[in-house]
Structure 1
Amino acid sequence: MLFRQFFDVTSGTYTYLLASAAGREAVLIDPVKEQTEQYILAIQQLNLRLVKAIDTHTHADHITGLGDLRELTGCVTLMGEFTKAQCVSAHVKDGDLLDIDGVKLKALYTPGHTNESFSFVLDPDTPRAVFTGDVLLIRGSGRTDFQNGDPGASWDSITQKLFALPDHTTVYPAHDYKGWTASSIGEERRYNPRVANKTRDEYIKIMNSLNLPNPKMMDVAVPANLVCGRPA
């Protein structure tokens, strides 16, 4: 399988490009508007055809590239069924299977960071990786204090849905701020300081005590992302 991981320094966002091989159809997960030229260049040089672009949720710290990519490539833009972004081409439900020219992704509804967050499991019959958006981060988890976030729902999504995957499943989050590029379900189960050896009530208390400032671009990014980063 062809796999590329892109990084946006400003927002600490990871974007993922997947295809079964060079010359095949491809999918992008969590694209950043300012990095669109990079994605297009990689797609061209690898002789790919972008057919789907996915946002795991409505991001608050960057503007999505969904709209630009749809205009430039004709790809189908996808989000979960509970998103308020009316501009996306199609929606997925919990358990839906996407097959992009042999690359299989299963949609998992994993609310908590937002009430519309989805994760995507690669090769769900024998899970290889999971793209967790902001729900589960490397040695952390996404904040739950805006966009209808819910720390209890976050705990349930992490411990009941994501931790139900095999320990060897690679975790690819939408963000990292320490330079880590990937983790695994087993690592996060054992070493994630917010979850490991914690109870649900303890996790809720931790998340409710973070007192983080709003993302710098929140007032701009959220409205823009409801129209996929550009007018529909």
Structure 2
Amino acid sequence: MAHVCDPTLVFRQLFEKVSSTYTYVLADANTREAIIIDPVIETVDRDIKVINDLNLKLLYAVNTHVHADHVTGSGQIKQKLPGVKSVIFDMNAKADIYIKEGDSLQFGSKKIEFLSTPGHTNGCVSIVCHTAKSVFTGDALLIRGCGRTDFQQGNSALLYDSVHSKIFTLPDDYVVFPAHDYTGQTNSSVGEEKKHNPRLSKAKEEFIKIMANLNLPYPAQIDRALPANLVCGIQN
């Protein structure tokens, strides 16, 4: 199990195997107030069980962007845990709280801060927890990779600038926790990705060429996921 350096932060990294999505639970160990990042609809019951087993009070369900590869669990979590508020950057999606660059959310004595990191989609954010020396990068930065830029407002030049100006300017020892991994890895670090990421360690022009020639298949769940995620995963 992945760990963070803050001993007063409850932390869980959870995995959904069909879309290879990581969901994260963070909580103040003293007040038990918690947030969840990028929940998946198929694993809501598992996530709620973890929250209940750890005696946590979930305040916020945060999505790093409008996902195209899975349906968010935020709406179902709100139904099953009344009082939870959904959070997103993208104003086109339904949510209780819309955040912008530099905003923060408090849970107990803990705080997360939001960085706008568009390029995979316009509404992508990365989430920094300084006390844990961690950044939750969504699809902007993956372990030795990055989110694709060939659909849904994708822009390779913008993604490159986002990662280099927002994520790669964090301290090298900050742990990178992505929204997905397809090779069994759980985390990386800012310094590692600056040095070893086969795409984003390159010059910008080369990165744009690499992204233009990936020839990836059409996302398997996009036609189901996008409409649902614009309404918090709940369709009437």
TM class by shorter chain equals over 0.9
Aligned partners of 1:22, 1:210: CA distance in 2, in Å? 46
Match of 2:119 in 1: 112
Q: Residue 15 of structure 2 is aligned with which of 7, 11, 17? A: 7
Structure 1 residue ranges (4+ consecutive) displaced by more than 3 angstroms after TM superposition:
none
Match of 2:46 in 1: 38
Aligned partners of 1:179, 1:22: CA distance in 2, in Å? 32
TM-score of the superposition, structure 2-length normalised? 0.93
Aligned partners of 1:157, 1:50: CA distance in 2, in Å? 30
Structure 2 residue 96 is the aligned partner of structure 1 residue 89: yes
Match for 1:110: what amino acid?
Answer: T
TM-score of the superposition, structure 1-length normalised? 0.95
Aligned partners of 2:31, 2:46: CA distance in 1, in Å? 18
Pair 1:177–1:22, CA change in 2 (3 A): farther
Match of 1:60 in 2: 68
Match of 2:6 in 1: none
Q: Is the 8 A contact 1:22 1:47 kept in 2?
A: no
Aligned partners of 1:53, 1:101: CA distance in 2, in Å? 15
Question: Alpha-carbon deviation of 1:73?
Answer: 1.1
Match for 2:134: what amino acid?
Answer: A
Question: Alpha-carbon deviation of 1:93?
Answer: 0.5
Unaligned runs of 5+ residues in structure 1 are none
Q: Is the 8 A contact 2:136 2:179 kept in 1?
A: yes
Match of 2:79 in 1: 71
Pair 1:206–1:83, CA change in 2 (3 A): farther
Q: Is the 8 A contact 2:31 2:108 kept in 1?
A: no
Aligned partners of 1:30, 1:102: CA distance in 2, in Å? 22
The RMSD of aligned alpha carbons is: 1.2
Match of 1:178 in 2: 183
Q: Is the 8 A contact 1:22 1:48 kept in 2?
A: no
Aligned partners of 1:140, 1:83: CA distance in 2, in Å? 27
Instruction: Tell me the number of residue pairs that the alignment of Structure 1 and Structure 2 aligns.
Output: 227
Identity fraction in percent:
49
Q: Is the 8 A contact 1:27 1:53 kept in 2?
A: yes
